[in-house]
Structure 1
Amino acid sequence: MFILPPQQMSTLVKDYPAGFRPRRGLNWFIIGLMYASYYMCRYNFRFATPGMREEFGFTTFQITGMLSAWALAYGTGQLVNGLLTDRIGGKTSLLIGAVGTITINLVFGFASFAGTFGTFAFIWLLNGYFQAYGAPGMNKINAAWFNRTERGTFAGIFGFMIQMGQFAINNLAPVLLAGFTVGTWLVASQGDWRWLFRVPPLVVAVVAVLLAIFVKETPEKAGYDGVVDDEHSAEGDTSARVSLRESFTTIFTHPLVWFYAVAYACTGAVRNSSDQLMILYFVDQLKLDLAAKPAAVFWTVNLMPLVAVLGSFGAGIISDKVFKGHRSPVAMTLYFLETVVIIIAALVIYAGLVGPSPTGIFIGCMFLILVSLTANSTHSIVGTAAPMDIGGRKMAGFASGVIDSFQYYGTAIALPLTGWLIDKYGWGVWYPTMASFGAIGGFAMLLVMRKQKRMNAEAAARAQRL
């Protein structure tokens, strides 16, 4: 049996005062539920797309245009709200986002009968902005509660909790689309996609109440002073807020943040393309009838978040324990692995092996699951752990905003382009488009590695001169 020496074991397991771990667990459990409920009010849209297309005659390009509007608003909201979060605090940010996404989803569910592209795009754009309060708020609070060598691991755990939101809507949506009654009263008829925007906001409302009551922004506010070290704060400084000017200047001029942002744009291009378009892929390419609740759809939409969790957790542990909190080596490997998987999938599709047959459906679903594994593994360490490393407890909100905004700028570029290509050339172009983004992400992380080595060498040289 391999046993770590005591000095290494101490770096893996940190001693905390009695009661700290359960209190921190309560904090991040509720925050995780909060962000999971955000996901329910985000991924409900994809299940509505077949019904919207049938009712209003939208093209794939128009559907991806609505998603692009959401992504642009979300990305810009990340920049604005991330900076604001460093001033108002993570808890307030999460609550503002919750109220906003509840309101907009209910508007979509009850007032979306106009049926124009502009109406749907504008409503979903507003949802994107309010959802953009979530990630900066979550990362800012967690940066104050976790040390650097814990953040990757717990980013993976948060990945699990967040994906529970996707798992929940994946299983709730078919139930709502099947229609339901209360006693003898027909509440929702079969295929009434508007209920997808009426029920999930109720979950957000319940969790928001729990967040308001139980979550504390810092360990100090929960009575645990000096427990978590912040490499970006002076000794004895336990505050978690900073001026807008200081946050903006520090993060915008950070030597690594823009490399991470470019890489995360590529994560968004692949992750959101596979997540948001897979329902149309099931219908158009695999010829599956969603009303029949096919087993292939059930297993795929539920295995995708499951493998995403495993990938996120594994990537976080490796970056924490093997690479001592450095994210770029793990992320680079994952981006290039993702590119290889996507290229293989593209070749298999080109060979005609994916289609409306049992074997073709299995292969098509298998590649969606593999793409989810690789894309979401980078999602946790680049989008969650890295911003906390860069910004610390004071500026993690804006660091998260800058990096995460690019995930959705990448999405805003990739989705309309992909939708137009699919309308023109068919689903065979989907995977090659995603592969190009995966390769760019890998090279961006390679540049981060080289930059970090130069920064470490310069720091060592300065230390020797002192």
Structure 2
Amino acid sequence: MGEGHNVEQVAAEIRHPPGYRFRRGQNWFLVGLTYASYYMCRYNIYIVAPRIMDAFGLNNFQFGIIDTARNWCYSIGQFVNGLFTDRLGGKQAMLVGAVLTIILNIAFGTVSLLATSLGTFAILVALATIRGLDGYSQAFGAPGMVKINTAWFPRAERGRFAGVFGMMIQFGNIAINSIGPFLLTGLTIPLVFGVVKIPAHWQNLFFLPPVAVAVITTLMFIFARNHPEEAGYQVQHAADEDHANDDHDQKLPLRVIFKTVASKPMVWVTACAYFCTGVVRTAVNTWWVVYFDRQWGLDIATSTLVVVTGALLPITAVIGSISSGVISDLLFRGRRAPVACGLYLLETGVILAAALLLSNSAYATPLLASVMLMLISLTANSTHSILGTAAAMDLGGRKMAGFAAGVIDSFQYIGAGLAGIGLGLTLDSMVSKSTLGWSVWFFFMAPFSGLGTLLMAYVWYATHGRSVRG
């Protein structure tokens, strides 16, 4: 029987017990909100990137070192912590990551306040080290949330879950992009017995988001459950999914998890495609504030266009996440490769259009740049959602989803690291010496988007469009 037919059959046979969908929604909301709060402590540095560079005399390459340290340590953490998550349990892993990121964000803000007298090299080492440790810590989040939700969602529902979950995690990005500019100019919070005034320091973005993480994670740990059986429900999973309906509390040995997931060729092909997503997605996320500041002289603390762009970038990411999940589930019956291939191809076209238009002074404007960035964000986050979440769940199954997600996501952040030091070095070398100027930023992304297209086309061809489980 074909795999596509299996997915269709499972979808038709899904019958959840009374109250299950509501309880799953509660679980899903708390887990999603926790992971969203991670993003507040992850994307805060991009809001203040020009200020960090100016305060410590860093060039693009040096700032890229700080960002790459975070992303490459995150990559290592994804690989390692995926194994730990399959042993610890999903919400336990997310708690560990949250506690550590709270401590390390506060440390980053404190060091940047106290280290103004240090030389460039010393401050660069300090900030890159703290950010690297924070990257490793946050790598407990994605495997944890994927493992939890693999147990709660049968395969036929995972594409839509991945899409809506992609929407939820963007709430953290929306929050920090919207609140961040106000924290840069100072903030007055009215209370019943007076007001609280927050002074205008960019370090605020490393002190206040951890408070939100602490509150949300506490609620998640109290009320969320690792799998439906803990909440008193039994859920039918596909018969061909690893350990679909056996002892759900059983902890598989690490060597078994590693050998099983690592032996699936499509895990590695999908991971390589996700590497390409990592380059493009992180190239946008890391440099968009710097781009508007350096290319157009627009400060996020004072420019309405930049603030609106910051709010809309994650919203376009939400649209991409939801639409890609729904399309793969409903129109392609759980087949991820055809959808991902089309999305990579569309992304390549958008990036090339942006590069050509914004390198031509007759067309280039800040508004056009904002629109093109939003289109790139839409396509990049579509592949991010469908490959990093839905495909990882399909490939790993409920017992090994943590490690499968870790492997695939680790490759994304290897690519993300390249968007730090690699793109930073490219910008330092070419912006002032080439007629392309900052348009080289877009040309840097295009080859990786094209490679992602080819890799997903191979998966599509190799599997004849069927859903992929290795």
- The two structures have a TM-score, normalised by structure 1, of 0.91
- Provide the rounded CA distance (Å) in 1 between the counterparts of 2:244 and 2:343: 35
Q: 1:205 aligns with which of 211, 214, 235?
A: 214
Q: Is the 8 A contact 1:38 1:98 kept in 2?
A: yes
The answer to whether structure 1 residue 131 and structure 2 residue 131 are counterparts is no
Aligned pairs for 1:10-21 within 5 A:
11=11, 14-21=14-21
Amino acid at match of 1:81: N
- Provide the rounded CA distance (Å) in 2 between the counterparts of 1:186 and 1:144: 44
Which residue of structure 1 aligns with residue 4 of structure 2?
none
Which residue of structure 2 aligns with residue 393 of structure 1?
398
Amino acid at match of 1:25: G
Aligned pairs for 1:58-77 within 5 A:
58-77=58-77
- Provide the rounded CA distance (Å) in 1 between the counterparts of 2:264 and 2:246: 24
Amino acid at match of 2:444: T
- Closer/same/farther in 2, CA of residues 30 and 95 from structure 1, 3 Å limit: same
Shift of 1:256: 0.4
Shift of 1:150: 0.5
Paired residues in the alignment total 446
Which residue of structure 1 aligns with residue 455 of structure 2?
444
Q: Is the 8 A contact 2:244 2:398 kept in 1?
A: no
- Provide the rounded CA distance (Å) in 1 between the counterparts of 2:445 and 2:219: 39
Helix, strand or coil at the partner of 1:256: helix
Amino acid at match of 2:371: M
- Provide the rounded CA distance (Å) in 1 between the counterparts of 2:88 and 2:467: 33
Which residue of structure 2 aligns with residue 246 of structure 1?
256
Q: Deviations over 1:310-344 (max 9, x none)?
A: 11111101111222211111001101110010001
Helix, strand or coil at the partner of 1:290: coil
- Provide the rounded CA distance (Å) in 2 between the counterparts of 1:456 and 1:186: 54
Helix, strand or coil at the partner of 1:285: helix
Which residue of structure 1 aligns with residue 43 of structure 2?
43
Q: Is the 8 A contact 2:340 2:383 kept in 1?
A: yes
Q: Deviations over 1:257-310 (max 9, x none)?
A: 001100001101000110110000010112113332x22112211111111111
Amino acid at match of 1:287: G
- Closer/same/farther in 2, CA of residues 291 and 241 from structure 1, 3 Å limit: same
Q: Is the 8 A contact 1:226 1:238 kept in 2?
A: no
- Provide the rounded CA distance (Å) in 1 between the counterparts of 2:289 and 2:53: 12
Aligned pairs for 1:314-329 within 5 A:
314-329=323-338
Give the gaps of 5 or more residues in structure 2.
1-7, 117-122, 432-437
- Closer/same/farther in 2, CA of residues 19 and 68 from structure 1, 3 Å limit: same
- Provide the rounded CA distance (Å) in 1 between the counterparts of 2:260 and 2:9: 34
Aligned pairs for 1:287-436 within 5 A:
287-292=297-302, 294-353=303-362, 360-426=365-431, 427-436=438-447
Give runs of ≥4 in structure 1 deviating > 6 Å: 182-186, 454-457
Q: Is the 8 A contact 2:314 2:377 kept in 1?
A: yes
Shift of 1:149: 1.1
Shift of 1:454: 9.9
Which residue of structure 2 aligns with residue 269 of structure 1?
279
Amino acid at match of 2:209: P
Which residue of structure 2 aligns with residue 27 of structure 1?
27
- Closer/same/farther in 2, CA of residues 353 and 288 from structure 1, 3 Å limit: farther
Helix, strand or coil at the partner of 2:290: helix
- Closer/same/farther in 2, CA of residues 9 and 81 from structure 1, 3 Å limit: closer
Which residue of structure 2 aligns with residue 146 of structure 1?
153
- Provide the rounded CA distance (Å) in 1 between the counterparts of 2:260 and 2:309: 42
Q: Is the 8 A contact 1:149 1:321 kept in 2?
A: no
Which residue of structure 2 aligns with residue 163 of structure 1?
170
Shift of 1:414: 2.8
Which residue of structure 2 aligns with residue 119 of structure 1?
126
Which residue of structure 2 aligns with residue 54 of structure 1?
54
- Closer/same/farther in 2, CA of residues 423 and 126 from structure 1, 3 Å limit: same
Q: Deviations over 1:39-84 (max 9, x none)?
A: 0000000112111112111101111111000011000000000011
- Closer/same/farther in 2, CA of residues 43 and 281 from structure 1, 3 Å limit: same
- Provide the rounded CA distance (Å) in 2 between the counterparts of 1:214 and 1:51: 39
Which residue of structure 2 aligns with residue 284 of structure 1?
294
More off after superposition, 92-101 vs 219-228: 219-228
- Provide the rounded CA distance (Å) in 2 between the counterparts of 1:97 and 1:186: 30
Q: 1:214 aligns with which of 211, 223, 232?
A: 223
More off after superposition, 23-32 vs 317-326: 317-326
Q: Deviations over 1:342-387 (max 9, x none)?
A: 00111102212465xxxx1110101100000000000101000011
Amino acid at match of 1:275: N
Q: 1:195 aligns with which of 191, 198, 204?
A: 204
Q: Is the 8 A contact 2:345 2:453 kept in 1?
A: yes
Which residue of structure 1 aligns with residue 95 of structure 2?
95
- Provide the rounded CA distance (Å) in 2 between the counterparts of 1:420 and 1:156: 34
- Provide the rounded CA distance (Å) in 2 between the counterparts of 1:10 and 1:390: 16
